[in-house]
Amino acid sequence: MADPLSATASIIAVLQLSSTVLRYLVDVKEASADRKSLIYEISSTRGILSTLKETDPVAFSPDGKQLASALDDLTVQLWDATTGTALQTLKGHQLLILAVAFFPDGKQLASASDDNTVQLWDAAAGLVAELQTLEGHTQSIGTLTFSLDGKQLASISDDLTVRLWDATSGAALLTLKCHTDLVNAVAFSLDGKQLASASADYMVWLWDTAAGAAL
């Protein structure tokens, strides 16, 4: 296994516990041949806190208390980020899960899959219930990003589009089409009124999220 601080270990999630303590998750493909995710704590010493098996996409809750990971059995597993204890299992997707993201308030979770759907889950107080299945993309969805106020959700698909959703109701708001190659990243402005998208076509587009128009 690669040293957690070496150049061969890829960090995919970072949690700031205090000014002197960091906890971060090392990429399963780079750090471990048996595809395990390892949570490390960095302070005066370093060591493995927990081992999470067979996982790729991961996300910390905003308060750092939970970790969500997508498993090979097509489920999302919720973990206690301190102890590594499995808390809940979310079942619903039909194909490989490619992305997970917590709502900014930490009470809900979104997951995206090769089955071309986004699913919204209620994970508050240990309650797990599927809230919505968001449909509209025609190919795999690999990235999910929330606006800072938690009102909008952006999804990136291999169909070369970015879709905006009402994160509360699950209603489709906009489909943004301009890129001619795979979209790699999206980011909301602080007020949520603009969205930037970047693509393998070497272009970055700025969008008005209310009008759905390129700026």
pLDDT tens digits along 119-162: 999 876 555 667 789 999 999 999 999 999 999 999 999 999 99
The answer to whether residues 164 and 96 belong to one domain is yes
Asked whether residue 127 falls in the same domain as residue 71, the answer is yes
Residues 157 and 167 in one domain: yes
Same domain membership, residue 68 and residue 44 = no
Q: Tens of pLDDT along the chain (215 residues)?
A: 444 433 333 434 444 444 433 444 444 444 444 545 554 444 444 444 455 554 578 888 888 888 888 888 899 988 887 777 888 888 999 999 999 999 998 888 999 999 999 999 987 655 566 778 999 999 999 999 999 999 999 999 999 999 999 998 899 999 999 899 999 999 999 999 999 999 999 999 999 998 888 88
How long a stretch of residues is the chain? 215
> Token pair 């971060």 is at which residue?
24
**CATH number of domain containing 119:** 2.130.10.10
The letter for the amino acid at 168 is T
When divided into structural domains, the chain yields a total of 2
> Is 122 exposed, middle or buried, given 0-12, 13-18 or 19+ CB atoms closer than 10 A?
middle
107 and 85 in a common domain: yes
Q: Are the beta carbons of 116 and 138 closer than 8 angstroms?
A: yes
| 87 and 156 fall within a common domain | yes
Residue 145 belongs to domain spanning: 54-214
